[in-house]
C-alpha cells in the first residue's frame, strides 16, 4: 500500500511540475499588428553570392525570445518579404521587457526556396541589439546560394575531423563531420558530400590525429552555384 501511495504521489508531483513549466512559457503572436507610434524600425538588405547580388523574394520573420529552465517568453513580431533589391523593413513596438534585456531580436529566414542553403540547426540570419525606442537600425545579412563540396579522405585509418563553413549574416554557419570515433558520424568514411555556399569562398577547417600529434589546417575553396566540387584532404 505504501509503495502505491508513493507512486501516486510521485505521479502527481511530476504532472504538477509539467504544468508549471507549460504555464511559465508565454507565446505571443503580434505578426498581424500595425504600429504607428513609438515605433522602432529594423531595415536592411539580404544579399547572396558573397554579397555581390541581392536575395529577392526572401521570406523573413522578426522575433524576440528569452528563456530559462523555468520557462520564458517568445514573441513573433512581424513577417516580411525582401523586394527585388533584397531590401526588407520591420516596423514595430519594442516592449519595456525587451528593452530591459537590451534587445536580443532575431531576423529569421522562413522560406523554403531550395536555391538557398539549408541553415544548419537554425534559421537565424542575424541578431539585433536594441537599447531604445524611436530608432532605426540597418543590417546587411548574407543568405548563400546552394552548392556542394565532396570531401575525400584518402586514408580512413587516420581520424579526421573537419568543418565546412561560410559567412552567413552575423554568424559562421558550418557542417561538421568526423572520420571515426564521432558520436554523430561513427562510421569510417572515405568521402562525405556537404552543402556549401555558391559563388563565394567556403572555408574548410581540418584536424587530424596522427599518433600522438594533432595537426590543424585551414583551407578555402570557391564553389560555383549549383555545382559539386571535389576536395581531397591531404
Tell me: do 31 and 138 sit in the same domain.
Answer: yes
Per-chain mean pLDDT for the chain: 82
Assign residue 33 a region (left: φ > 0; alpha: ψ between -120 and 50; beta: otherwise): beta
- pLDDT tens across 196-231, in order? 999 999 999 888 888 888 889 999 999 999 999 999
Tell me: do 138 and 149 sit in the same domain.
Answer: no
**Which range marks the domain in which residue 183 is found?**
145-232
Task: Assign residue 64 the CATH number of its domain.
Answer: 2.60.40.10
Angle, CA 159 vertex, CA 153 and CA 160 arms, to 5°:
50
pLDDT at 31 over 90: yes
Tell me: do 115 and 205 sit in the same domain.
Answer: no
pLDDT, residue 171, reads 59
- In a 10 Å sphere around its CB, with 0-12 CB exposed, 13-18 middle and 19+ buried, how is residue 143 labelled? buried
Tell me: do 77 and 117 sit in the same domain.
Answer: yes
pLDDT at 45 over 50: yes
Tell me: do 172 and 85 sit in the same domain.
Answer: no
Is residue 208 a part of any domain in this protein? yes
pTM above 0.85, yes or no: no
Measured CA to CA, the distance from residue 119 to residue 109 in angstroms comes to 9
Is residue 45 a part of any domain in this protein? yes
Is residue 11 a part of any domain in this protein? no
> How many domains are there within the chain?
2
Tell me: do 158 and 129 sit in the same domain.
Answer: no
- Among candidate residues 206, 212, 138, 218, the one with its CA nearest the CA of residue 177: 206
- pLDDT tens across 119-158, in order? 765 788 888 988 888 888 888 998 999 999 999 988 888 8
Measured CA to CA, the distance from residue 31 to residue 80 in angstroms comes to 10
**For the CA atoms of the chain, what is the radius of gyration?**
23
- pLDDT tens across 53-85, in order? 999 999 999 999 988 777 889 999 999 999 999
Contact predicate 72/66, CB 8 Å: yes
Tell me: do 135 and 170 sit in the same domain.
Answer: no
SS3 state of residue 69: coil
Q: What are phi and psi of 23, to 5 degrees?
A: -70, -20
Is residue 41 a part of any domain in this protein? yes
pLDDT, residue 102, reads 80
Tell me: do 191 and 170 sit in the same domain.
Answer: yes
In the numeric block, the cell 563565394 is attached to: 200
Amino acid at each position: 500500500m505504501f509503495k502505491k501511495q508513493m507512486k501516486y504521489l510521485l505521479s502527481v508531483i511530476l504532472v504538477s511540475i509539467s504544468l508549471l513549466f507549460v504555464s511559465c512559457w508565454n507565446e505571443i503572436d503580434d505578426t498581424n499588428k500595425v504600429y504607428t507610434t513609438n515605433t522602432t524600425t529594423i531595415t536592411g538588405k539580404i544579399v547572396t553570392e558573397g554579397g555581390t547580388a541581392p536575395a529577392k523574394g526572401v521570406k523573413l520573420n522578426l522575433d524576440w525570445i528569452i528563456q530559462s529552465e523555468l520557462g520564458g517568453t517568445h514573441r513573433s513580431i512581424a513577417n516580411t518579404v525582401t523586394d527585388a533589391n533584397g531590401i526588407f523593413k520591420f516596423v514595430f513596438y519594442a516592449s519595456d521587457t525587451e528593452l530591459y534585456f537590451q534587445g536580443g531580436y532575431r531576423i529569421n529566414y522562413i522560406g523554403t526556396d531550395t536555391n538557398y542553403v539549408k541553415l544548419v540547426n537554425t534559421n537565424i540570419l542575424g541578431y539585433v541589439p536594441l537599447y531604445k525606442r524611436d530608432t532605426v537600425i540597418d543590417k546587411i545579412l548574407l543568405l548563400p546560394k546552394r552548392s556542394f563540396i565532396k570531401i575525400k579522405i584518402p586514408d580512413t585509418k587516420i581520424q579526421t575531423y573537419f568543418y565546412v563553413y561560410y559567412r552567413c549574416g552575423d554568424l559562421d554557419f558550418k557542417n561538421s563531420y568526423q572520420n571515426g570515433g564521432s558520436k554523430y558520424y561513427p562510421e569510417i568514411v572515405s568521402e562525405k558530400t556537404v552543402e556549401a555556399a555558391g559563388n563565394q569562398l567556403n572555408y574548410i577547417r581540418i584536424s587530424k590525429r596522427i599518433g600522438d600529434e594533432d595537426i590543424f589546417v585551414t583551407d578555402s575553396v570557391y564553389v560555383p552555384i549549383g555545382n559539386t566540387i571535389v576536395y581531397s584532404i591531404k
